[in-house]
Amino acid sequence: MKILKYIILILILWGIDSFSFFVFGETIGGYVSHLTFILLLGYYFFARKRPVIIPLAILGVSYFIISGLTYIDNYEVYINEFIKYGILIICGAEVARDTSSKELILFLLIGAASVLIHSLFFADNYGRYSGFYLNPNGAAFVCLIGYCLTFNISNKTTKYLFTFIFTFAGILTFSRFFFLMWFLITLLSAISNRKNLQLFGIGIGTLALLISFATILQVNTTRFSLLIGLLNNNAQTERLTEDSRMSRWSTYYNDILDKPIFGNGYKSFSGIDNVKQGVHNTYLMVLGEAGIIPFLIIIGIYLYLIRKTIYGYKTNTDKLLLAISLSAILLTMHNYFNYYLILFITIWLFNKVSTNNSQENEITL
């Protein structure tokens, strides 16, 4: 069972299905995707059966049914995504329950290390690196989640090493979201323990290292110049907000107001019609596609995670920071129901806080 669990964690936490699709083609990528869910079903068959996470199940059912009754462009995609979501919520929950914080952070660390390998050995003109995850923003999410978990590592040397790896890999993605959230997370962590202010030193050190090796790594010149501008306190505001998420959200406000109760239908906010880009906001996507009911449910789920983790903030800082990060990540993506890594981390954290496992011991490495 442990080997099966590790294979599933590799497939989900490293995004191997998408990676296989890109490297080996559509056929192999499809096989790998199907393999992931076959293994999840197999794990559930042998695992001890525990209650389904009701809020996530209700969220999925309400979203798919309401949006599907309103509008469906591709029934095959709709049914496929609905089934896979159900398998992950039910079967993936058993894998998540059996995954320790130590196992989770180690798999995420390897995922983050793939970003470093990408930048060192497969440098390209794009200059934003993503490793296994292909998309720099997706890699940034992984680095951010891993960074949150480092706050529960007991050994200081290991903690700082992991912090450096997640931070440097995250910086190499040149995600503006990562920079902002890293700063906020570090600042919030200092509220519970002033010693965490030392982590700003690691951040400064990684930036200095990046500047020193910028030419070798062939970093993205546009975003690198913005970073240098910020450090020199002369960044141009219009360049920082160029292609901002908020301006993209605003293009969908009228559609939301037109049909606030039951939404506009499945995938109508995901940019699949090529008329305009997707909304890049899970909350607006759920509201715009399926209306107010699933919107209130998803808001409630992440508010619940934040509320539950606040109680153990002093001793389990990582859980609250992770809940805040997950809630913020949803502000930047519109593929929530088939973004299996984010769903799996949500399931993992939900189980920790709902079964009082948020008070687990520190991660010993």
Which pLDDT score is estimated for 29? 86
Residue 206: the pLDDT is 87
- Given a cut of 70, whether residue 224 has pLDDT beyond it is no
pLDDT at 232: 58
Q: At residue 137, does pLDDT exceed 80? A: yes
**Whether pLDDT at 49 is above 70:** yes
So where are the chain's domains?
1-47, 54-359
Mean pLDDT along residues 166-187: 92
What mean pLDDT do residues 201-205 have? 89
- The pLDDT > 70 percentage for the chain reads 88
The answer to whether residue 238 scores a pLDDT higher than 50 is: no
User: Is the pLDDT higher at 265 or at 23?
Assistant: 265
- Which has the higher per-residue pLDDT, 21 or 63? 63
Question: Is the predicted pLDDT of residue 54 greater than 60, yes or no?
Answer: yes
Tell me the pLDDT tens digit for each residue of 260-291: 999 999 999 987 655 678 899 999 999 999 99
Model confidence at 361: pLDDT above 90: no
pLDDT value of residue 237: 45
Q: What is the pTM of this model?
A: 0.92
Taking residues 85-106, report their average pLDDT. 96
Query: Mean pLDDT in the chain?
Result: 88
Confidence of residue 209 (pLDDT cuts 50, 70, 90): confident
pLDDT in tens, 75-90: 999 999 999 999 999 9
Residues 6+ apart with CB under 8 A from 58: 297
* Whether the predicted pLDDT of 211 surpasses 80: no
Query: Is the pLDDT score of 109 beyond 50?
Result: yes
Chain segment 295-354, per-residue pLDDT in tens: 999 999 999 999 999 987 777 889 999 999 999 999 999 999 999 999 999 999 999 998
pLDDT tens digits for range 239-264: 444 556 777 888 899 999 999 999 99
